[in-house]
Every structure is written in structure tokens, then in C-alpha cells.
């Protein structure tokens, strides 16, 4: 553990002194119902953006609300303009939140946030407490504490806050392209992830990408009576299920030719780090009522989630599914599929390979169409950058547990956009816990995670600021 110097010590003490005031500020922001998916809350989304602009302005940032075709962006800049060469860092977060349905399952009004005592300690309860208002405020409070204790931040900083993350970010890429010069920095920081386990800090360095498609297999030109046509007439459900049943081999591997051609092995040191985390794959499955691993047999569950590609059938339907029986041979059968991709894989190439594989197995008298095809590439961070190791050491110092470079089974498109649109790496650090119930009723954020999250960012600010 590195001994803190005077400016770091002063900032950490400031965090502890101001914790109650920081929590009060967060509760004010959480009370604004900034639901981006519902047009009825458009004014509230702007209210949240304006609140953040006012707060950043009070910290000495040059801050403004920027209009988009959807909800506004918030952009703020801290640059002492004193001629001293400093790193330029960009911080990203989002102020919009998910809808609250089903409302009846909330124990309190989701937009009347409160600090609650629980058997596991104090929590901040309310929609957006963990995703992402509580998380983004850890960074803003770290900046507040550092500036209050030391005058100026140790690097030039741009704050970039979005209001449409929970509704697909339709305005994000155009805004980034139009404002690329202003937003481009040496490194982007994102606070929208979590701890590994309960108390192990983590930096996400790998994010899986995605390819999605919807398949329709068509046979006869109308639904047919199964008594009159059953036997000689081809059933599209039979075709669809037969082909999709071949999607994986007996070893759990995806059977599409060339699917693994561009998959890169993870570095040995990263593999060793993951092994040291002691992930229990059997317990992981038991928690959801399963016991037998279904993926690639030679890979651990953690490898499968973080560093291996997948092919999954997300939905399948056709024919009559109502009450009772309607004995028909359907004209059409449909399925939705998603492919989680890893660094090196091209979503368009994977889509083309899947389509060709599927078409090659189609029988006569049936046709197939592919719709709603879209994808995004996986993200891989350049951990050779000194800032990554510096941040890992800073997190270790705060939590007392060695911080880990981890993968992420899901997709966080903004991290990839920083690379493809602005040509910069992103570092994802977050302090959420698995039981935070993000996107669900009774969302919470532990006060401990908020407090140590602010302190963690103070340490990261110090380390990467030199």
C-alpha cells in the first residue's frame, strides 16, 4: 500500500467530512424522475441535466446543457489555463433512469429517495441510486473534495453526461461526431459497472459485443389443417427447430463454420488474475436452479462469461399458442437470436456466416428471411497504458483487497464508441453490488459503496494526475 501524501490526505479527509452533505445532494438528484424512455418525463430529464450543470458550475467548471434531437447532454470543462502541461481526462456518466414498473412492488415512492437502515448496513433507496446517478455522483463528489482541499484538480477534465443511455442512446454518436474535438481526451473514465463480489474493486478491461437477428421461416402460403396436410406438407416450426438444434455441438461449441476464427486467447497474466478470484461456477449455476454447465466444456464458467463468444436463442414462436388446441400447420415460424462477441470478431462477418449456415440447411418449399439485424463490436482496453495500473493500485489502497482487471459478459456500447468515434481508450470503474436491483423495484446503492467510491476516485485522480 502506498502512503498518501499531504494533498491526497487532505482530499480524503474532506470526503469523510462532507459525506452527509454529499448524500443530501444525491437525494435531490434522485428525486428528479428523469425517465428517458417515456415522453411524459421529457421536462424532468431536462431538469436533471440543468441540476447537474448548476452543480458543476458551483464547482468551478464551465458547464452547459447541450440540446440534441432527444434529451440534452451535459458538457463541463475544468482547465486552469495556467500553461502547465497536464493529462486531459474525460468522465462519462448518464443521468437518465429506467421506468419504475411494476410500481406496486416498491416499498416506497421510487422518486422519494431515502437513506435506509438494513441488516447489511445503510443503503440509498430510489430509482437511479445505483444506475447511474449514485455512481456518477461519486466522481463529482471526488472532484468537489479535491478542489475544496487543494484548489485545483491534478489534470484537465471534461465531464460528459448523457440523458438517453437507458433508451438506446440515439443522439450519442452524432453528438460525439459533431463535438469530437471538444470531447477527445487522453483517456475516458466511466462509472457504470460494479465490484467483483462484495468487496473486491474491479476495472473492466474486456466487454463483449453483440450481433442480433430475427429469423422467419416460411413454408405453405397459409396455415393448414393438420389432419388434411399433416405428413406431406413441410412444417416451418419443424424446420426452424431442427436447424437451431444444430447450433451447438455436443461439446458446447457454436457449430457455425468460422465462428471462432478471429477469437484471440486471453493473456496468461490475465488468466492467472481471473483464476485467483476463486469464482465458483457450480455455485453460480445453483443460484438460478441449475447444476450442469452447458457451454464449452474445456472452459471455466468465468472464461465463458468474460472472454468467449456465445450464440443464444432468445425467443421462438409459431402456430397457435392460445388456450386449448387449434390443430394447424403454421405458415411461418419465428425466432430471435443474439450472439455475444469477443474482441477480434466482426458482427457483420458473424451475421453473414450465420445466415449462410442457416440457408444451407433449408429444405425445398421453405424460405428464410433475416430481419432487425444489428450489432456492435466487443471492447478491449489497452491495459499497457500506465493509467490502468495506477488506477488498480489506487483502488487496492482504498479497499484493502487487490483490485482486479476483469471482463464483462454484457455490452456497454459507450466504451466502444470512445474508441471508434474518438480514438481513445476507456477505463470502467464502478462500485455497484450484485444485489443493487438495478432496473428493478427497490433499487439501492450501499452508503459504504458511495462513500468508498468517492474516496476511490480521489485516489485515482491523484494517481493518474501524476
Whether 117 and 236 share a structural domain: no
Say if 153 falls within a structural domain: yes
Closest residue by Cα to residue 63 from 77, 79, 45? 77
Residue 1 has pLDDT above 60, yes or no: no
**Residue 216 is part of a domain; what is its CATH number?**
3.30.70.360
Confidence of residue 44 (pLDDT cuts 50, 70, 90): very high
What is the grid cell recorded at 84?
Answer: 502547465
Say if 273 falls within a structural domain: no
Residue 281 has pLDDT above 70, yes or no: yes
Identify the pLDDT of residue 2: 59
Q: Give CA–CA dist 170/112, Å, rounded.
A: 29
Identify the pLDDT of residue 3: 58
The contacts of residue 116 (CB under 8 Å, 6+ apart) are: 122, 123, 124, 125, 444
What is the grid cell recorded at 103?
Answer: 410500481
Identify the pLDDT of residue 427: 95
- Cis bond before residue 93 (omega within 30° of 0): no
Indicate the SS3 state at residue 82: coil
pLDDT in tens, 57-101: 999 999 999 999 999 999 999 987 677 788 999 999 999 999 999
- 421-437 mean pLDDT: 95
Domain count, the chain: 2
Identify the pLDDT of residue 416: 85
Answer with the one of 376, 394, 414 that is the final residue of a domain. 376
Q: When comparing pLDDT for 40 and 374, which is higher?
A: 40
Answer with the one of 376, 400, 430 that is the final residue of a domain. 376
Helix 447-464, helix 6-17: angle, nearest 10: 160
- Asked if 179 and 86 touch (Cβ cutoff 8 Å), the reply is no
Q: Give CA–CA dist 19/25, Å, rounded.
A: 10
pLDDT in tens, 303-355: 999 999 999 999 999 999 999 999 999 999 999 999 999 999 999 999 999 99
What is the grid cell recorded at 306?
Answer: 468474460
Say if 279 falls within a structural domain: no
Identify the pLDDT of residue 412: 82
Whether 248 and 189 share a structural domain: no
pLDDT in tens, 144-168: 999 999 988 999 999 999 999 999 8
pLDDT in tens, 115-141: 999 999 999 999 999 999 999 999 999
Say if 73 falls within a structural domain: yes
Indicate the SS3 state at residue 452: helix
pLDDT in tens, 236-257: 999 999 999 999 999 999 999 9
Identify the pLDDT of residue 173: 96
pLDDT in tens, 30-39: 999 999 999 9
Say if 346 falls within a structural domain: yes
**Residue 92 is part of a domain; what is its CATH number?**
3.40.630.10
Identify the pLDDT of residue 4: 64
Least confident of 234-248, 265-279, 431-445: 265-279
Domain span at 187: 6-207+378-464
Closest residue by Cα to residue 241 from 180, 161, 169, 330? 330
Say if 188 falls within a structural domain: yes
Q: Give CA–CA dist 367/359, Å, rounded.
A: 8
Answer with the one of 376, 409, 435 that is the final residue of a domain. 376
Whether 382 and 343 share a structural domain: no
- Cis bond before residue 358 (omega within 30° of 0): no
What is the grid cell recorded at 166?
Answer: 437507458
Say if 96 falls within a structural domain: yes
Say if 457 falls within a structural domain: yes
Q: Rounded mean pLDDT of the chain? A: 95
- Asked if 132 and 194 touch (Cβ cutoff 8 Å), the reply is no
Whether 77 and 155 share a structural domain: yes
Q: What is the dihedral of CA 192, 197, 200, 204, to 10 degrees?
A: -40
Q: When comparing pLDDT for 85 and 277, which is higher?
A: 277
Amino acid at each position: 500500500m502506498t502512503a498518501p501524501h499531504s494533498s491526497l490526505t487532505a482530499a480524503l479527509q474532506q470526503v469523510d467530512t462532507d459525506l452527509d452533505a454529499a448524500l443530501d445532494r444525491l437525494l435531490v438528484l434522485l428525486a428528479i424522475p428523469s425517465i428517458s424512455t417515456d415522453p411524459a418525463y421529457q421536462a424532468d430529464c431536462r431538469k436533471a441535466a440543468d441540476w447537474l450543470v448548476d452543480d458543476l458550475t458551483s464547482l468551478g467548471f464551465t458547464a452547459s446543457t447541450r440540446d440534441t434531437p432527444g434529451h440534452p447532454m451535459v458538457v463541463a470543462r475544468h482547465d486552469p489555463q495556467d500553461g502547465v502541461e497536464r493529462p486531459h481526462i474525460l468522465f462519462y456518466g448518464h443521468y437518465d433512469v429506467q421506468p419504475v414498473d411494476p410500481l406496486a412492488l416498491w416499498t416506497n415512492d421510487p422518486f422519494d429517495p431515502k437513506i435506509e437502515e438494513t441488516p447489511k448496513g445503510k443503503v440509498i433507496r430510489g430509482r437511479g441510486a445505483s444506475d447511474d446517478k449514485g455512481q456518477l455522483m461519486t466522481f463529482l463528489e471526488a472532484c468537489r473534495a479535491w478542489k475544496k482541499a487543494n484548489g485545483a484538480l491534478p489534470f484537465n477534465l471534461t465531464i460528459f453526461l448523457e440523458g438517453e443511455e437507458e433508451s438506446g442512446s440515439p443522439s450519442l454518436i452524432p453528438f460525439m461526431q459533431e463535438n469530437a474535438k471538444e470531447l477527445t481526451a487522453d483517456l475516458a473514465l466511466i462509472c457504470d459497472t460494479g465490484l467483483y463480489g462484495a468487496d473486491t474493486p474491479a476495472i473492466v478491461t474486456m466487454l463483449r459485443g453483440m450481433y442480433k437477428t430475427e429469423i422467419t421461416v416460411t413454408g405453405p402460403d397459409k396455415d393448414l389443417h393438420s389432419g388434411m396436410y399433416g405428413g406431406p406438407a413441410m412444417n416451418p416450426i419443424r424446420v426452424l427447430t431442427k436447424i437451431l438444434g444444430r447450433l451447438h455441438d455436443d461439446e458446447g461449441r457454436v457449430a457455425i463454420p468460422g465462428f471462432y476464427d478471429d477469437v484471440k486467447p486471453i493473456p496468461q497474466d490475465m488468466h492467472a488474475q481471473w483464476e485467483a478470484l476463486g469464482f465458483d461456477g457450480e455455485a453460480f449455476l445453483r443460484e438460478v436452479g441449475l447444476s450442469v454447465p452447458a457451454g464449452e466444456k474445456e472452459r471455466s464458467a468465468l472464461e465463458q462469461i468474460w472472454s468467449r463468444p456465445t450464440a443464444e436463442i432468445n425467443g421462438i414462436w409459431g402456430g397457435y399458442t392460445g388456450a386449448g388446441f387449434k390443430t394447424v400447420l403454421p405458415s411461418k415460424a419465428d425466432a430471435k437470436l443474439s450472439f455475444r462477441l469477443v474482441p477480434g470478431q466482426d458482427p457483420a462477418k458473424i451475421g453473414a456466416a450465420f445466415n449462410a449456415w442457416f440457408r444451407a440447411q433449408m429444405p425445398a418449399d421453405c424460405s428464410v428471411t433475416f430481419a432487425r439485424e444489428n450489432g456492435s463490436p466487443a471492447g478491449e482496453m489497452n491495459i499497457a497504458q500506465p493509467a490502468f495500473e495506477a488506477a488498480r493500485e489506487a483502488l487496492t489502497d482504498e479497499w484493502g483487497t487487490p483490485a482486479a482487471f476483469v471482463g464483462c459478459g454484457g455490452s456497454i456500447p459507450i466504451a466502444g464508441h470512445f474508441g471508434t468515434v474518438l480514438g481513445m481508450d476507456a477505463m470502467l470503474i464502478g462500485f455497484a453490488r450484485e444485489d443493487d436491483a438495478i432496473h428493478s423495484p427497490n433499487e439501492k446503492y450501499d452508503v459504504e459503496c458511495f462513500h468508498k467510491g468517492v474516496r476511490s476516485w480521489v485516489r485515482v485522480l491523484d494517481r493518474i494526475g501524476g
